[in-house]
Structure 1
Amino acid sequence: MSPNTDYLLSCLERLLAIPSPSGFTDQVVHFVGEELARLNIPFELTRRGAIRATVAGRQRSPDRALVAHLDTLGAQVKRLKDNGRLEVVPVGHWNARFAEGCRASLFAGKRRYRGSLLPLKASGHTFGNANDSQEASWQNLELRVDVPGGDRQALVNAGIHIGDFIAIDPQTEVDRESGFINSRHLDDKAGVAVLLTVAKALVEDQVALPVDLHLLFTITEEVGSGASSVLHQDVAEMVSIDNGTTAPGQNSSEYGVTVAMADQTGPFDYHLTHHLLQLCQAHGIAHQRDIFRFYRSDSASAIEAGNDLRTALVCFGIDASHYYERIHLDALCCLTQLLWHYALSEPLFADDNKLLTQRPDFPHMP
């Protein structure tokens, strides 16, 4: 299986250009819906916009799912200030240090304003060394919105309200020669691009899948609820696609596939995780294993919502996660290959199509 890198990168760049902080995801949902319709893949939407698409297999159950999330980090207006600037609060979990200096878009009703996130003491010419000693916190940040007037009334006149969404510019750079991709929000739009590339290949090559494969696109992963409400109850296996942190003390890499063995919520399913590792070995896909201590994914929210299914997490290595991130095309290609082979593989256990089973049919560990 040779990934269509032109489609993958085109899809990624278009996704990154669409603002989609958690709670403000309708437009990116429409984009993915249009792509699925173009590929003739049937799908349906939850009330809030999570997508559940299906590529039919020879049998319906025990079916499986691949999931990536469309939502990103962002911010909201907390208060209109007398100096004509805006106090903000984060959407999702990210450090205020990573927000300082960002250019951003503010969505106020049908208007879109531009602005910059700045520390309260931004001018070295005014505050001297005090701007170096100021603590990085959301209370010490404000959005300098590009609206004439310079006072609170100017903001009111512009139609800006508490709760308006703020989307951070991605600042995307794709170097096709080196393979490096730098941008904000690669978590998890790179995973979405991989999932769409897999879907396109499965449809165009007209491969026969052993069981139904559901493609899930969630919209609230960054705020914790993720795949809690988009699953069919008969899904037996679910593989999440997300980022793996390439940082000191971690074993993730910007190359190959990173297979997560556990995150802060505990170990992933033993059998499904080792099935993915075996597929990597059988098909010569570069890979490594890792465990994440300060990390959760769509898999965690699915389990916590009461779904009884096997979960796993496969990752593209990402440097400086939740900041100005960097990944490599090699990891995206390897992920695409792995998910292709996973979709074509037989279900782990035929009895997984049952909600409850008898002890003789329950699997053993080696």
Structure 2
Amino acid sequence: MNNYIDYTIIQKYMQELLSIPSPTGNTSKATKYIKDILTDLKVNYHTTNKGAVIAVLEGEDNTIERSFSAHIDTLGAMVKAINENGTLSIVPIGGYMMSSIDGESCIIETMDEKNYTGTFQNIKPSVHIHGNDARELKKTPENMEVVLDEKVKDKSSVEALGISVGDFIFPDTRTTFTSSGFIKSRYLDDKASASILLYAIKYLKENNIKLPYTTSFFFSNYEEVGHGASSSHSKNIKEFISVDMGAPGKGQNSSEYSVCICAKDSSGPYDLELRKKLTALCRDKNIDYRVDIYPYYGSDASAALAAGWDFKAALIGPGVFASHAYERTHQDAVVATAELIIAYSMEAM
């Protein structure tokens, strides 16, 4: 790791941002956090009509622009129905395996922002009652429910608490920073990268670094449902780099200790010329990197390209193991990603 990256600042941003629930559709508290940081840094920003935050650092050439993005919306759930026995049927927000939340604690937020705790359970949670049915039950939304930590016995007693269909449910993130440098938490996708972007903005601003081009930092809030960065870009942007995550695992080239550069995902190949520039910069600056392909993946860059924006796009990010479950990365990957963003922001196109 190079010495100029202060990981403790990125960790602080991560810890604070991960503590703020922000499933897609309920992100205002997280966007307020982003705006408060930008205000403290005296960085210009604006908010889009659907709630994304775009920070802007002026460059020497403002006729050509570059943009980095990260998303602050996460997976989550909603109350689909209140059952006659006082449990809650759920519908997921975003694409995750229901088995990854089985037995996890959660918070239910009502429309008037009262919070109640509960537990995600499958409908046959006890082997002492259900035997092999408990072991073999398919984990689908229809077979999952939330058991409230309240003395409720029926639907009416739940409704009396103010809980209703459409209320958001926040799974416990269980955020942990280990002494060996690992970060374990739900929603490192993409709050790790959002924290890295905040650090990059802070570093560039406080060190009075002159950027060759005006550079924006797009904090999107609908990425997990496919349209996060589909709108609201400057027409001067020529390069758009989505900062999300790499996906290490069996058969993959990604690593929890590196910045990962995506060659292709489910939306197709990313711009080859831009990828060559990023990999060359990693080699030149001795930044640990991996190139990989993700068959079941889409990004803010994918959404922007599908919406018709005419710029070259790339996808990078720290390697995050067990994506869309209880995720893990390492500070080496976080630092490498910060190094690449800061270094590339100072490069000519």
**Cα-to-partner distance string for 1:280-299 (whole Å, 9 max, x where unaligned):** 01111111110110001000
Aligned to 1:66: 68
Shift of 1:147: 2.5
Aligned to 1:122: 125
Aligned to 1:286: 288
Q: Secondary structure at the match of 1:3?
A: coil
**Cα-to-partner distance string for 1:11-64 (whole Å, 9 max, x where unaligned):** 000000000000000000000000011111110001221011101111112100
Which runs of structure 2 are paired with 1:115-154 in the superposition (5 Å)?
A: 115-154=118-157
**Cα-to-partner distance string for 1:265-311 (whole Å, 9 max, x where unaligned):** 11101111111111101111111110110001000000011101100
Larger deviation, residues 162-171 vs 141-150: 141-150
Q: Distance in 1 between matches of 2:344 and 2:134?
A: 52
| Alignment pair present for 1:24 and 2:8 | no
Aligned residues: 346
Q: Distance in 1 between matches of 2:56 and 2:80?
A: 40
2:123 partner amino acid? L
Q: Distance in 1 between matches of 2:196 and 2:24?
A: 20
Q: Distance in 1 between matches of 2:24 and 2:283?
A: 36
2:92 aligned residue (58, 79, 90): 90
Which runs of structure 2 are paired with 1:235-254 in the superposition (5 Å)?
A: 235-254=237-256
**Cα-to-partner distance string for 1:88-144 (whole Å, 9 max, x where unaligned):** 000001111112111111111221111100000012222122211211111100011
Whether the 8 Å CA contact 1:236–1:309 is kept in 2: the answer is yes
2:305 aligned residue (295, 303, 306): 303
**Cα-to-partner distance string for 1:317-340 (whole Å, 9 max, x where unaligned):** 111111111100000101111111
Where in structure 1 are there 5+ consecutive unaligned residues? 349-366
Whether the 8 Å CA contact 1:147–1:154 is kept in 2: the answer is no
2:169 aligned residue (166, 170, 175): 166
Aligned to 1:317: 319
Q: Distance in 1 between matches of 2:148 and 2:193?
A: 32
Whether the 8 Å CA contact 1:216–1:230 is kept in 2: the answer is no
**Shift >4 Å, 4+ stretches:** none
Whether the 8 Å CA contact 1:36–1:42 is kept in 2: the answer is yes
1:206 aligned residue (194, 208, 217): 208
1:272 partner amino acid? L
Whether the 8 Å CA contact 2:246–2:259 is kept in 1: the answer is no
Which runs of structure 2 are paired with 1:26-41 in the superposition (5 Å)?
A: 26-41=28-43
Whether the 8 Å CA contact 1:51–1:230 is kept in 2: the answer is no
Q: Aligned Cα RMSD in Å?
A: 0.9
Larger deviation, residues 138-147 vs 79-88: 138-147
| Alignment pair present for 1:327 and 2:336 | no
Percent identity of the aligned residues? 35
TM-score, normalising length: structure 2: 0.98
Q: Distance in 2 between matches of 1:77 and 1:245?
A: 30
